[in-house]
Amino acid sequence: MSADRELVLTRLINAPREKVYRAWTEPEILKQWFAPLPYTTPVAELDVRPGGANLIVMRGPDGKDMPNRGVYLEVVPNERLVFTDAYVRAWEPSEKPFMTVILTFEDEGGKTRYTARVRHWTVADREAHEKMGFHGGWGLCTDQLEALVIKT
């Protein structure tokens, strides 16, 4: 994989990987942290299995909804999730594939080494995602995820 099409965020989260994984796979938990505040996540439909579809809707402070559809490619409980927006459901191709996300959850003595690798179809897509605020946005969401899993 060419590094010029990949964005990566890595954090050590002070919670067991089972909790971090659940935050990505249980809709009611995901809704609480997924969008960077003041954005919200009113809809999270997750069929977490290879070939299963997801729909996550982020809502902006202006009330505008941003639906994100995708399909899970790989699911290894508490270890790895891979999903892409190249498909919207049941192997139906999306109009404009943008990224594939590879999440890993590694145990580090009761803490979790959390890595989000986002691979883009083109360098231009990676650059656009970076300009949209990948590092700040995904970083803030990871802070929100950690705050939630620490207290649950």
Q: Is 21 helix (H, G, I), strand (E, B) or coil?
A: helix
- The mean per-residue pLDDT over the stretch 47-70 comes to 97
Which CATH number fits the domain that encloses residue 59? 3.30.530.20
pLDDT of residue 111: 97
User: Per residue in 8-17, pLDDT tens?
Assistant: 999 999 999 9
Interval 87-100 mean pLDDT? 93
Confidence tier at 91 by pLDDT (50, 70, 90): confident
Distance between CA atoms of 139 and 135, rounded to whole angstroms? 6
Query: What would the mean pLDDT of 79-98 be, rounded to a whole number?
Result: 94
> What does 55-91 look like in DSSP terms, one character per residue?
EEEEE-TTS-EEEEEEEEEEEETTTEEEEESSEEETT
Distance CA 126, CA 3 (A): 10
- Residue 54: domain span: 3-151
Residue 137: pLDDT band (50, 70, 90) is: very high
The pTM of this model reads 0.95
Residue 1 in this model has a pLDDT that exceeds 60: no
Split into its structural domains, the chain has a count of 1
Binned at pLDDT 50, 70 and 90, residue 118 comes out as very high
